[in-house]
Structure 1
Amino acid sequence: MTTMKTNAIRRPPLGKWFAFQAGVILLMGLVFWIKSPVAAYSALLGGIIFFLPNVYFALKAFRYSGARAAKQIMGSFYKGETGKLILCAILFTVVFKSIKPLDVAALFLTFAIMLVTNWLTPVVFGGKTQQS
């Protein structure tokens, strides 16, 4: 009797990834605290503007797994990305309209650093995934 080993697509370790990214956001807040409290909370807001839509995307995108769910997977990725962009725009709008004073440079710099962090997070964790 032979046993077949399946090469199932594994889900990324989202909990670890999000914890790492939250740590980077807190670190950015501490770094900007050196400049001023306004820069610190602006940096935290920039990180949150990135983080919350990213969590939304991940929850939508990784709802389904397996080859049989290919259509649902593609649909959930598109819906997740669309929702992420809309949520990001809403959060930027809310912050710019309601938070005064605001250090725009700290906000955008942290947002940009979080974009790079998002690309590097799988590398930091060695590309390892977990079973669903």
Structure 2
Amino acid sequence: MTKASTRGIGRPPIARWFVIQSVVLVFVSLAFLFRSQVAGYSALLGGLIFLLPHGYFALKAFRYSGARSARKIMSSFYQGEAGKLILCAILFTMVFKWIQPLDVAALFLTFAIMLVTNWLTPFFASGRAQRN
């Protein structure tokens, strides 16, 4: 047996991923801030609309582990995903209703950048761990 096969499947380093994504959000927001103050806070809001629901999903989805908890794990994933989508919808609604002026392009572009960052973060955060 190899070392990797005896370890089992561990939980992903969610806290590290969240920190990396938060740092990306700060840099993106600062970049938009050079364009205008409205673009800067709009970008920040777009990133937070992405990060907060994904944080909820991570807390919900990864609270159980082990083969005996398979049903709880699946249920938690579905609940986390549903909650994430509902939170995104609520946060977008709140921002569009209460934040004026708003740079819609900065808001959605930052949301999209955070989505791509979410896809790439596992490769950058745990690249060495996957090669062992």
TM-score normalised by structure 2 residue count: 0.91
What displacement does 1:7 show?
3.5
Identity within the alignment, %: 67
Higher helix share: 2
| Corresponding residue number in structure 2 for 1:31 | 31
Cα distance in 1, alignment partners of residues 67 and 42 from structure 2: 43
The one-letter code sitting in structure 2 at the alignment partner of 1:50 is F
CA contact (8 A) 1:44 1:107 kept: yes
Gaps of 5+ in 2: none
Q: With a CA cutoff of 8 Å and minimum separation of 6, indicate the structure with the bigger relative contact order.
A: 1
What displacement does 1:127 show?
7.2
- Residues paired across the two proteins, number: 125
The one-letter code sitting in structure 1 at the alignment partner of 2:58 is A
Cα 1:81/1:75, change in 2 over 3 Å: same
CA contact (8 A) 1:122 1:128 kept: no
| Corresponding residue number in structure 2 for 1:10 | 10
Question: What are the superposed Cα offsets for residues 35-68 of structure 1, whole Å, 9 maximum, x if unpaired?
Answer: 1000000000000000000000000000100011
| Corresponding residue number in structure 2 for 1:117 | 117
Secondary structure of the residue that 1:101 maps to in structure 2?
Answer: coil
| Residue pairs, 1:1-132, within 5 angstroms | 6-125=6-125, 126=127, 128=129
Cα distance in 2, alignment partners of residues 94 and 127 from structure 1: 40
4+ residue segments displaced more than 4 Å: none
Cα 1:128/1:61, change in 2 over 3 Å: farther
The one-letter code sitting in structure 2 at the alignment partner of 1:49 is I
Say what the alpha-carbon RMSD is for the aligned residues.
1.3
The one-letter code sitting in structure 2 at the alignment partner of 1:83 is G
Cα 1:56/1:83, change in 2 over 3 Å: same
